[in-house]
A and B are shown apart, each in its own frame.
Chain A
Amino acid sequence: MANAVDAPKDSFRLSMLIYDTRYRSLTIQVIVLMLFMAGAAWLVDNTVRNLAVLGKDFNFGFLGQRAGYDIAQRLIRYTNADTHARALLVGLLNTLLIAFLGCIAATILGVIVGVLRLSSNWLVARLMTVYVEMFRNVPLLLWILLVFTAFTEASPLPATFRVNAQTGEAESSMLFGLFAVTNRYTAIPDVLVERGLGSLALGPLSINLTFLAIVAVIAGSLLARRALLRHATAVQEATGLRPKTWWKSLLILILPIAVLLWALGVHLSVPAITGFNFTGGVNVSNSFMALWLALSLYTSAFIAEIVRAGILAVSRGQTEAAFALGLRPRRTMSLVILPQALRVIVPPLISQYLNLTKNSSLAIAVGYLDLRGTLGGITLNQTGRELECVLLMMLIYLAISLVISGAMNVYNARIKLKER
């Protein structure tokens, strides 16, 4: 570039703004900036004038007002006397809940299907191909509606689970004696704590100490296990012999949490039919079940393809080279194949998680009150503040996406191939 800069410095002409590569990009950017500013100003001006015509203003004060509607499923305390902001939070937590559970189920299912699709078993591989093509090529909305219909139309009434006094048998029976799928809700066992630790109130937040204790013990176990494995590696490097760790690590992982759960008196409360309804467990609404199942099934088909591509991307020579070096199959898998396959699998996998989170907004089809249902649905209709509600909703979804994709970028940077 030295030559370009050292070009003869004759007087500046206006045409150089276009024809001289030194200035052209600057010219283009200035023009784009002006156009962009003009466009933005036009939009803002229109919005201000439209709001004035409608007699509205732009403020988020409505979030502090009383919401006045009920939400059937909530993870935090909420009544219809709470504010719209609280309702928003309930909706957001519902969105995150369905996204979290959906990601877990979709990953498990997707990995199984993806691996089985590569199986040498003719029948199973064909079945999995049909599964993947069927779910990928049909709109998600159809699966949500179909599963919802299966729950509401093809499941028995709760009352049919009651034991008939004359015959001594019930018309419908529960799955494994734990779950009951009815046409109104799915009854699942509840986890009850007999001797809870109470909760710690910190201003508006209250922290459940029982939950905190369980998390702390699990984290502690994991850290202890890591220390154990590191010690084993150190011993191996010093002496060449790796001490046996499996029973110790199993003990570290299971014993503390088991003791804690026993001390807290944690037990399952199985739902039972009393009168016309199930009590004793948790009655999960069918809209939640349908949305969760449909999202998981649909996304699992995409994840299966990602897993398959990831496994195929590791060339056979890698396995053969590992065997030639004398690595055992298990170590070959964990040291050679998985690290390479994961590098291919994880980025698209996380973008599938993002898709699932965004697709959870289809809760509208089954009436599950997620973020769109509360903030973008009932709150919007009650307050009539479309502009604020939709913008805020977009911002929240954007924030969720950016957090997830930020995590992905960190991971990508860590596993990136170090070249030159």
Chain B
Amino acid sequence: MSETGTQTVRFVRDTMLPEAAPPASQSGAVKWLRENLFSGWLNTILTIIGALVLFQILRGLVPWFAHSVWNAQTLGECRQIIAETWGEGARGACLAVVRDRWAQWTFGFYPAHLYWRPVLALVLLFAALAPILFSAVPRRLMAFSALFPFVGYYLLWGGTIWTPVVALAGFVVGYAVWRALARRNALAAILLALVAALVWWLLLAGPVERALAQVAPLALQSVRSSSFGGFVLALTIGVSAISLSLPLGIMLALGRQSDMFLIKTLSVCFIEFIRGVPLITLLFTASLLLNYFLPPGTNFDIILRVIIMVTLFAAAYIAEVIRGGLAALPRGQYEAADALGLDYFQAQRLIVLPQALKISIPGIVSTFIGLFKDTTLVVFVGLLDPLKGITDAVRASTDWKGIYWEPYIFVGFIFFLFCFGMSRYSMYLERRLKRDHR
């Protein structure tokens, strides 16, 4: 290379050339298409197949939705409108069934003049959820969230107002006993508070409620569980089971991690049993067997039984998810908590669970989504879930006999909105709680 330096330089460019535009194949839409759709023969084949599939699906669906009819009273009328507007043989969606029967899908056979009660309960539910779900909402509102179960029960089932009030009073009694004794002996305070609350609920609540109801008969028209149905039923079961199964699941997960042999064994047996059987057998247990397991003559509400079973079912799954989160925590976290002199509950509350729960969020939320989807199975114990119970009821009427696709599409769409919303929320929560800088 040494001789190149000896050559005289004949030409030196003294001005820069203007930047040329990139070649047409390397910019804009063409580049994007080349990179994302036709980057090789395999990709090209995949693109063509994908486009064909998409085209086939759209070719069936687009006209069907484009020809949809929203104003009709019966399926026959709807078909007639489609035939008149789009010609003989045209196929279209009779979404009029949704317009005609949306109330049934939403409320089941809840009395029509009382629709305001489930609606109000739903609005209040969102108000109660807001402080739990979003950190921007003031923490004070949590008090309302704690009250909501009682308000919601009263609004949905009605009856005398004193039932939820007396039930709530049990908590107040327990709390009062605890506050009075907590200074002197923490353990005795907790035990006595439990005993006091139990005594209140089991012995005093009934007479007090009857007495109060006679003195001040404040009551809403009572609605029987058999008239519940549709999305009100799905949401009632879903929301109660979700909120009850999380604490139970945490307890089971901690029990499974416990050093105490008996507690660990019981937790493992419970979790493995529940996870080993299909939900449907548990629902059958609720509807057929609970009569055997309870004292003769007791008979309580079928929705309550179903909620209990669904809660137990979800709790076992949540326990396993949280166990994964607990196992993922480095051993050092537990040791650090011990080194700080925290006792078991302090360590769990302040160090272990906040981290373990954060890790388990995706699993917990997908369990919740599964639970909400599983509320449709209650149709097999005679409750009117929106998917099969109400749809069959709608189809049983002479007006809408023979309608098949539209109800499923409508109900599926609503479920999709709820479940997809939940999964998006879990992503948001993961981002918000992220503490590392990866």
Interface residues of A (CB under 8 A from B): 18, 25, 28-29, 32-33, 36, 43, 46-47, 49-51, 53, 116, 119-124, 127, 133-134, 136-142, 145-146, 149, 153, 354, 358-359, 361-362, 364-365, 372, 376, 386-387, 390, 393-394, 397-398, 400-402, 405
Q: Given A29-B260, A137-B415, A361-B281, 16 other A-B contacts at CB below 8 A?
A: A29-B263, A47-B292, A49-B296, A119-B43, A120-B39, A122-B36, A124-B46, A127-B54, A138-B415, A142-B408, A358-B278, A365-B380, A372-B280, A372-B281, A397-B278, A398-B277
Interface positions, chain B 31-53, Cβ under 8 Å from A, are 35-37, 39, 43, 46-47, 49-51, 53
B86 to chain A, nearest CB (A): 20
Interface: B207 (CB within 8 A): no
B408 A376 Cβ-Cβ under 8 A? no
Q: Which chain B residue has the least Cβ–Cβ distance from A391?
A: B289
Contacting A141 at CB < 8 Å: which of B37, B39, B281, B387? B387
Contacting A120 at CB < 8 Å: which of B43, B293, B408? B43
Complex alpha-carbon distance, A362 and B263, angstroms: 34
Interface positions, chain B 152-177, Cβ under 8 Å from A, are none
A145 B388 Cβ-Cβ under 8 A? yes
B46 A119 Cβ-Cβ under 8 A? yes
Complex alpha-carbon distance, A216 and B35, angstroms: 51
A402 B272 Cβ-Cβ under 8 A? yes
Q: Which chain A residue has the least Cβ–Cβ distance from B413?
A: A138
Interface residues of B (CB under 8 A from A): 35-37, 39, 43, 46-47, 49-51, 53-54, 187, 259-263, 266, 272-273, 275-281, 284-285, 288-289, 291-296, 369, 373-374, 376-377, 379-380, 387-388, 404-405, 408, 411-412, 415-416, 419-420, 423
A153 B404 Cβ-Cβ under 8 A? yes
B280 contact set on A, CB distance < 8 A: 361-362, 364, 372
B266 contact set on A, CB distance < 8 A: 32, 36
- What are the 5 closest A-B residue pairs judged by CB atoms, nearest first? A401-B276, A137-B419, A122-B36, A398-B276, A358-B278
B265 to chain A, nearest CB (A): 10
B312 to chain A, nearest CB (A): 13
Q: Which chain A residue has the least Cβ–Cβ distance from B38?
A: A121
B225 to chain A, nearest CB (A): 21
B292 A145 Cβ-Cβ under 8 A? no
Q: List 24 A-B contacts (CB under 8 A).
A: A29-B262, A36-B266, A46-B292, A46-B295, A49-B296, A121-B39, A122-B36, A123-B51, A124-B47, A137-B420, A138-B412, A138-B416, A139-B376, A139-B412, A141-B377, A149-B405, A358-B278, A359-B278, A361-B281, A364-B380, A365-B380, A372-B280, A402-B276, A405-B276
A121 B46 Cβ-Cβ under 8 A? yes
A354 contact set on B, CB distance < 8 A: 275
A149 to chain B, nearest CB (A): 5
Complex alpha-carbon distance, A28 and B187, angstroms: 13
A401 B277 Cβ-Cβ under 8 A? yes
